[in-house]
């Protein structure tokens, strides 16, 4: 059996990669062959360029391939991907047919490399920023999710404005005909005013929309790791395992 999901966020900086890595960890603990894919990553550093988020997905994949399989399009500028690709002369790499093909190739390669044929596979494709981040002037990451045909896991960053962002995202995802396999509430602040009230409202609203809750992850200051201009700093495996304890895998 092959399980595939597309992880979207309500905005940038809401913890998509943290949750994605923890879900991969959780799936691995349950005996799945896991693979994390970050199709497009901006803000890459080094030579060849690598991205912190993609490296974290690679680390927590039981099927670890060369970096390019985990992150087919690595852009240096930490700006909107379509602008970075235009500046770096690789806009063609973000054309929907090309990007879909590279994603499918990575997912297929992971299946071929998983080892024991009888092991079920759990594959995760993580977007960039929010649901409607542009790939070019015709398509967005929403079109990529639709092209791949995978159910969506929505990461909601719990901060001011999260209700509006979450409900708009749910509406936009469902309007494309895609199933939302679940949502995760990720607390981003130690002292958000009325956090409990916001969570209660969101939980009821998601239930009304038939979107199951996969977990509530409390704020952890140890995960606020600043990125260097020359070096990647990643959460420890133990940090990711602790986050995984708050999550359940989607059905």
Select from 163, 150, 67 the least CA-distant residue to 104.
150
Q: Is the dihedral of CA 16, 107, 65, 122 positive or negative?
A: positive
User: Residues 170-179, buried b or exposed e (16+ Cβ, 10 A)?
Assistant: bebbeeeebe
Q: Please report where in the chains the tokens 């995202």 appear, as a residue.
A: 169
- Catalytically active residues are 38
Beta pairing partners, 54: none
Beta pairing partners, 216: 185
CA dist list (Å): 146 to 54, 124, 143, 174: 21, 14, 5, 11
CA distance 1 to 37: 18
Q: Is the dihedral of CA 161, 164, 170, 172 positive or negative?
A: negative
Q: What is the SS3 string spanning 11-25?
A: CCCCCHHHHHHHHHH
């Amino acid at each position: 059996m092959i399980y595939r999901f597309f992880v979207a966020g309500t905005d940038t900086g809401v913890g998509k990669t943290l949750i994605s890595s923890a879900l991969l960890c959780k799936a691995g603990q349950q005996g799945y062959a896991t693979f994390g894919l970050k199709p497009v990553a901006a803000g890459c550093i080094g030579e060849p360029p690598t991205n912190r988020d993609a490296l974290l997905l690679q680390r927590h994949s039981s099927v670890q391939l060369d970096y390019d399989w985990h992150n087919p399009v690595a852009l240096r500028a930490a700006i909107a991907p379509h602008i970075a690709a235009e500046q770096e002369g690789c806009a063609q790499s973000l054309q929907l047919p090309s990007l879909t093909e590279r994603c499918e190739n990575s997912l297929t390669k992971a299946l071929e490399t998983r080892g024991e044929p009888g092991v079920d596979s759990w594959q995760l494709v993580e977007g960039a920023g929010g649901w409607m981040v542009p790939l070019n002037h015709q398509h967005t990451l929403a079109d990529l999710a639709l092209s791949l045909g995978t159910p969506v896991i929505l990461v909601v960053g719990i901060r001011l404005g999260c209700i509006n962002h979450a409900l708009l995202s749910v509406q936009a995802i469902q309007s494309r005909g895609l199933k939302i396999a679940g949502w995760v509430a990720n607390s981003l602040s130690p002292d958000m005013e009325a956090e409990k009230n916001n969570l209660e409202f969101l939980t009821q609203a998601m239930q009304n929309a038939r979107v199951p809750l996969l977990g509530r992850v409390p704020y952890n200051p140890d995960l606020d790791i600043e990125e260097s201009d020359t070096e990647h700093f990643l959460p420890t495996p133990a940090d990711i395992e602790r986050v995984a304890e708050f999550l359940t895998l989607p059905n």
